[in-house]
Amino acid sequence: MKDSRVPWIGSIPVFWEMRKISRSFSVIGSGTTPSTSNSSFHEEGSIPWVNTGDLNDNFVIEPKKKLTEYAFKEHSTLRLYPIGTLLIAMYGATIGKVGILGVGACTNQACCALAEPKNFEMRFVYYWFLDNRKNLVTLSFGSSQPNINQDLIRQLRIQAPPIPIQRCITAYLDEQTAKIDRLINMRRRQMELLKEQWAALIQQAVTRGLDPDAPMKDSGIPWLGEIPVHWKKTKLLRIAPRGRGMFVNGPFGSDLLTSELTDSGVPVVYIRDIQANGYLRVSEVCVTPEKAASLDVCRVDAGDIVVAKVGTPPGTAAIYPDTEPSGIVTQDVIRIKTDPRKVVAEFIVYWLNSDAGRASIDQISVESTRMRVDLESYKSLRIWLPPVEEQRKIKEFIQNETAKTNDLIASYARQLTLLAEYRAALIHECVTGQRTVDETSLS
């Protein structure tokens, strides 16, 4: 081995060379963005136009956008790059993302294009950039948005084994990463199937109950079908105790001004804090205890139900946890205090987040800038309820099944992490010569 004289590369085999990118490609370029206000540049375009969002560390076959012949003629900085060109993202969060053109295309200014390599297999360079993405990010500049540029890429020095070795390395990595990717895709699909099965289990439990032999009756709702005979239909409003402030949304307009929000004090609950898998506070906004006292009717306590009035779709519900201090809900959040003599709050949340609940909420949703439900329509929502003790059993059943599902998903997630780490380590070992790859390595 010998020193590559590039700190992050370290040692390389003695017969490998280090080559500057500027001397290794006949074509190094980029592109531009024709004015989006000029429809003649974009409408009914036929020339593929790659943006960094199209780069996903794979072949770029169908870029999302196209330009017209007129745009191409009017912009001298646009160039049609051939199939096999390597593209590298230079701006923002996508820095270092790469793609190999599977179709002739031009690019915007955020992509650097490398074509017509000298003494390099393009796939070897592709794997080199995959291995060195983090190092590229460390070389970026700019405070608001980190960037790299063509000049920086031109000055990069990369290791260059003999062409036959490069071919063996790329063939080996193509083969091995394809196997790893198949495993990754299989695990991801298994995770999705688990989530689908979990959702179906909840739908079954909150609309059919746990007794498969229970007598059934027609609910009168086509998308709901049959429900157990002994379940009763009620308005959602009636799950709350009687009295002021049992079923409310947060303060509107001048009742809570932006100027009254603080960094500490009583937490303010926003729709972004409400997820189908539970409440998780991500907001950092509060009000003073004095302001909270004046908005006491909008107070949320542990065990209350909080519902997002706005969303895609709206109506996501969660239990406000006992790990959080009492807070104040905003105007886009509904807070429900439940009557334990009538309902188990968790059962209601499971129903609201189920396919049946979503379908019911969809019937009362209206579209403005985003889909939303209003408080009065939400109070009138119809729900079929089993007796309280049966609700409790359904809640416990769903919680147990959820724990099993979450354990499996967490196990699969750990496997995905390990597979991704192994994939990255394999690429690194091969492109730096730490792992010997020759024709005998190929299956």
Its CATH architecture, for the domain 2-160, is Alpha-Beta Complex (3.90)
Above 90 in pLDDT, residue 368? no
Position 277 scores a pLDDT of 86
Position 120 scores a pLDDT of 95
Whether residue 307 contacts residue 313, with contact meaning beta carbons closer than 8 Å, is answered with no
The CB density around residue 148, as the number of other CB atoms within 10 Å, is 21
Above 70 in pLDDT, residue 443? no
Strands (E), 200-344: 216-218, 226-228, 232-235, 247-249, 266-269, 274-275, 278-279, 286-287, 299-300, 305-308, 317-319, 327-329, 333-336
Position 224 scores a pLDDT of 86
Compute φ and ψ for 276, nearest 5 degrees.
Answer: -65, -25
Whether residue 89 contacts residue 114, with contact meaning beta carbons closer than 8 Å, is answered with no
Give pLDDT tens digits for 173-192.
999 999 999 999 999 999 99
Q: Please state the pTM of the whole predicted model.
A: 0.82
116 CB contacts (<8 Å, ≥6 apart)?
Answer: 25, 26, 27
Give pLDDT tens digits for 155-177.
999 999 999 999 999 999 999 99
pLDDT band with cut points at 50, 70 and 90 for residue 366: confident
The ranges assigned to domains in the chain are 2-160, 232-385
Burial class of residue 214, CB neighbours in 10 A (0-12, 13-18, 19+) = middle
Position 442 scores a pLDDT of 67
Type of residue numbered 291 = K
Q: Is 96 left (phi over 0), alpha (psi -120 to 50) or beta?
A: left
Give pLDDT tens digits for 11-49.
899 999 999 999 999 999 999 999 999 999 999 999 999
Give pLDDT tens digits for 200-221.
999 999 999 999 999 999 988 8
Residue 297 and residue 97: Cα distance in Å, rounded? Answer: 50
Above 90 in pLDDT, residue 143? no
Angle between helices 355-364 and 345-353 (to 10 degrees): 70
Position 318 scores a pLDDT of 96
CATH annotation of 232-385: 3.90.220.20
Above 80 in pLDDT, residue 142? no
Residue 381 and residue 236: Cα distance in Å, rounded? Answer: 5
pLDDT band with cut points at 50, 70 and 90 for residue 93: confident
DSSP 8-state class, residue 432: T
Whether residue 379 contacts residue 236, with contact meaning beta carbons closer than 8 Å, is answered with yes
The CB density around residue 37, as the number of other CB atoms within 10 Å, is 7
Give pLDDT tens digits for 104-113.
999 999 999 9
Do the two domains 2-160 and 232-385 of this chain adopt the same fold?
Answer: yes
Could you tell me which residue, 369 or 279, shows the higher pLDDT?
A: 279
In angstroms, the Cα distances linking 420 to 5, 8, 181 are: 28, 20, 9
Residue 329 and residue 340: Cα distance in Å, rounded? Answer: 22
Give pLDDT tens digits for 386-439.
999 999 999 999 999 999 999 999 999 999 999 999 999 999 999 999 998 877
What's the mean pLDDT in 327-344?
Answer: 95
Above 80 in pLDDT, residue 129? yes
What's the chain's average pLDDT? 93
- Beta strands at 98-101 and 58-60: parallel, antiparallel or unpaired: parallel
Compute φ and ψ for 328, nearest 5 degrees.
Answer: -125, 130
Residue 306 and residue 274: Cα distance in Å, rounded? Answer: 7
Position 367 scores a pLDDT of 81
Strands (E), 4-162: 11-12, 17-20, 25-29, 47-50, 58-60, 65-67, 86-89, 98-101, 106-107, 111-117, 157-160
pLDDT band with cut points at 50, 70 and 90 for residue 321: very high
Position 390 scores a pLDDT of 97
Above 70 in pLDDT, residue 307? yes
Give pLDDT tens digits for 223-239.
888 999 999 999 999 99
Strands (E), 295-421: 299-300, 305-308, 317-319, 327-329, 333-336, 366-367, 371-372, 382-385
The CB density around residue 349, as the number of other CB atoms within 10 Å, is 26
